[in-house]
Structure 1
Amino acid sequence: MSHRLFNPQISRSPLRWPEGRGLAISFVLNIEEGAEHHLSAGDAGNEGVHEVVNALHGVPDFCMETHFEYGARAGYPRIARRFIDAGLPLTLNVCGRALGMTPWVARDALAHHSELCGHGWRWESPAHFSAPEERADIARTCAAIRAHWGRAPAGWHCKSSASAHTRTLLQELGFAYDSNDYGGEVPRLEATPAGAPYVVLPYAFDTNDMRFYQQGGFVHAEDFARYTAAAVDCLLEEARHAPRLLTIGLHTRILGRPARIGALDQILAHIGRRQEETAAIWVATREAIAMHWRELHRHAAPAQ
């Protein structure tokens, strides 16, 4: 990723999602529990952010560890059940090490037509990795996903910033898409060195439950629900004239808390109401979104 983009995203286009729909919605559930840094695993330090910001140095942080365990033990079933009951697909950003500790996540994905996307072996940014280090990290993560899910992931999403060589490596390794972009609500195509189309799907940190952990962010479930509903409504209006993509990011240890899970109920209900009114919403995995976008541009030169 050696260039920046400042040109406006398309505001008028005949391109549509399946069945002529204008707004694609991607729910992404991040599976990171067990991949966080902690001294008990032999790491140099402990993860310092959970329900509080409190980095404990020099000794294991059992408080932090059990906060992450909560996500796997209580938060994941609470969130997954809602998508299963609604018949809606998820993309699960999975860290390879975390998947090894929670293999039922892959079984659920297979049973309910959801997708596993690579999220690194550990829950850490690759921004400072060398190219060989990052290539090895990607390979190790893909091997874990393949072992539990039966195939390699089509997509990749880094924690925080990617490195200068992340996208090149992903293209060389045959990935179909990545989500290491926050610059809009419209996917774009890039040509790989081999000439194959590669899709960049924008992600979002605002319609994301991580803001419950941020000062000045969400406090009550209604905060997240109302904010996300406003995004749905705005993009639905824009999607009358050009395609739009909304990403809603979730974390088992955050949204899975009893006082927060109601936000998901409200978001799903709002999407259901707006779909009944407009018939313009497509809830899909990121792989399905990327494949559809690539097909739309199959006869066009990569440009957006």
Structure 2
Amino acid sequence: MSHAPRDMVGYGRHTPAVNWPGGAKVAVQFVINYEEGAEASIMDGDAASEGFLSEMTTAQPLVGRRNLSMESNYEYGSRAGFWRLFELFSSRNMPLTVYGVAQALERNPEVARATVNAGWEIASHSYRWIDHKLLSRDEEKAHVAKAVKILTELSGQRPLGWYTGRRSEHSHDLVVEDGGFLYSSDSYADDLPYWVDGPHGPHLVVPYALDTNDIRFVMPAGFNSGDQFFTYLKDTFDYLEAEGAMGRPKMMSVGLHCRVAGRPGRAQPLARFADYVAQRGTAWVCRRVDLASHWARHHRPTGLLPSQMSRPLLMAVFGDLASGLGAFLGTLFDEGAVQSTAGWAAFAALVETRLNALDLAERAIMFGSSGASETDLAQSIGELKSAITARMEAPQ
């Protein structure tokens, strides 16, 4: 169990001097939670049927029995709701993050393929959409590993983000201990990302939100019309945009569920809000992994050395400097070479030495310069070393 003290202070009055790409006043992330097919079911060995987060707001779990009405509510999300949301955002060229429950995507792999082909992010939403407080620590640890394995196989790349949702007291520790996640989102504590300590170096928390979230349609005292949903989202955006104009940019998360926002009467106000954000022209609409990478490059902890970074953090901090650099640094990390460097100068020298050791074709791939000459690539390596030095010297 985690015994870390609560942080009741955070950034307080003095938030970081955030500079979102393009000078945006607010960073907006839309999140589609894909959970359908991984909810509680006696067919999957659970003690009772699902009773949470559907149109049947007063439903209770049925011990030892199926709830076919509840099941069909969830099935709407995978059969129809996801595709309505997919069209809504892809037609507007708005990137987003899918919180994918591994078992759910495993049962509908076309959703995973469409998500990847759209250039969206799949972040892990655990292996099952259940209350993780019902699991032992070892069981939950196994779910983390299983989720990573399945999502990697479905998408072709390891997930870098994590959101449990119905978390236990072990959830955060298990995710941080894994060491392969750039960020997690099991927090609602701030309007900006923040760092926490972890066994593999600093770990980034990108907070989520339950107020700007369609779950309020299916919870007591929530939204009862599309106009309420649109107005609340717009009011939130307008206020954050105004703070950004005053030099205090923040982030805004919009949480969606296929079986909820995927209904026509809720997709309509969502589309209105998406169009409003686009018309304002003041937002950076991004995937959560993009925001996490931006934060890693521009707001990492003061004095942090490459040897103190986790593998995903190292790749995020420098991976944008050359097309193949992220994977190259991942290899150096796996070999233990990065961890043995004594400081920034030693790290830059390591990168330069190892790049020069590659053959001409490998270096050309690294810089996306097929057919480049030895002289051109030597110049590229020198420029890369200078860029690494400039990033390490940039104020945090």
Q: Does 1:103 align with 2:109?
A: yes
Secondary structure of the structure 2 residue equivalent to 1:248: strand
Name the residue aligned to 1:115.
121
Name the residue aligned to 2:270.
264
Q: TM-score, normalised by structure 2?
A: 0.71
Name the residue aligned to 1:51.
55
Please provide the CA RMSD for this pair: 1.9
Q: Distance in 1 between matches of 2:131 and 2:280?
A: 36
CA shift digits 1:181-215 (9 cap, x unpaired): 111101112243233x3210111000000000012
Query: What aligned pairs does 1:20-59 form with structure 2 within 5 A after superposition?
Result: 20-49=23-52, 50-52=54-56, 53-55=58-60, 56-59=62-65
Letter in 1 for 2:171: T
Name the residue aligned to 2:296.
294
Q: Distance in 1 between matches of 2:233 and 2:118?
A: 24
Secondary structure of the structure 2 residue equivalent to 1:253: coil
Query: What aligned pairs does 1:11-22 form with structure 2 within 5 A after superposition?
Result: 11-22=14-25
Letter in 2 for 1:206: D
Change (3 A) 1:171 1:57: closer
Secondary structure of the structure 2 residue equivalent to 1:89: coil
Q: Distance in 1 between matches of 2:207 and 2:134?
A: 22
Name the residue aligned to 1:94.
100
Question: Alpha-carbon deviation of 1:155?
Answer: 0.8
Q: Distance in 1 between matches of 2:133 and 2:45?
A: 22
Name the residue aligned to 2:283.
281
Name the residue aligned to 1:221.
226
Match of 1:62 among 57, 68, 71: 68
Contact 1:89 1:283 in 2 (8 A): yes
Q: Distance in 2 between matches of 1:68 and 1:179?
A: 23
Letter in 2 for 1:19: G
Instruction: Judge which range, 124-133 or 183-192, deviates more.
Output: 124-133
- Gaps (5+ residues) in structure 1? none
Question: Alpha-carbon deviation of 1:217?
Answer: 0.7
Question: Alpha-carbon deviation of 1:131?
Answer: 2.9
Contact 1:16 1:242 in 2 (8 A): no
Contact 2:47 2:63 in 1 (8 A): no
Q: Distance in 2 between matches of 1:110 and 1:58?
A: 37
CA shift digits 1:148-176 (9 cap, x unpaired): 1011110110123x333323322222211
Contact 2:195 2:301 in 1 (8 A): no
Higher relative contact order (CA 8 A, sep 6+): 1
Q: Does 1:204 align with 2:209?
A: yes
Higher helix fraction (1 or 2): 2
Secondary structure of the structure 1 residue equivalent to 2:37: coil
Question: Alpha-carbon deviation of 1:128?
Answer: 4.6
Contact 1:189 1:294 in 2 (8 A): no
Secondary structure of the structure 1 residue equivalent to 2:253: strand
Match of 1:72 among 61, 78, 81: 78
Question: Alpha-carbon deviation of 1:14?
Answer: 2.6
Q: Distance in 2 between matches of 1:83 and 1:63?
A: 29
Name the residue aligned to 1:6.
8
Query: What aligned pairs does 1:181-260 form with structure 2 within 5 A after superposition?
Result: 181-195=187-201, 197-240=202-245, 241-260=247-266
Contact 2:191 2:207 in 1 (8 A): yes
Instruction: Judge which range, 211-220 or 246-255, deviates more.
Output: 211-220
Q: TM-score, normalised by structure 1?
A: 0.92
Secondary structure of the structure 2 residue equivalent to 1:113: coil
Secondary structure of the structure 1 residue equivalent to 2:251: strand
Letter in 1 for 2:193: P
Question: Alpha-carbon deviation of 1:8?
Answer: 5.3
Q: Distance in 2 between matches of 1:181 and 1:301?
A: 26
Secondary structure of the structure 2 residue equivalent to 1:159: coil
Query: What aligned pairs does 1:108-187 form with structure 2 within 5 A after superposition?
Result: 108-160=114-166, 162-173=167-178, 174-187=180-193
Name the residue aligned to 2:318.
none
Instruction: Judge which range, 130-139 or 70-79, deviates more.
Output: 130-139
Q: Distance in 2 between matches of 1:155 and 1:251?
A: 18
- Gaps (5+ residues) in structure 2? 305-395
Contact 1:90 1:285 in 2 (8 A): yes
Letter in 1 for 2:9: N
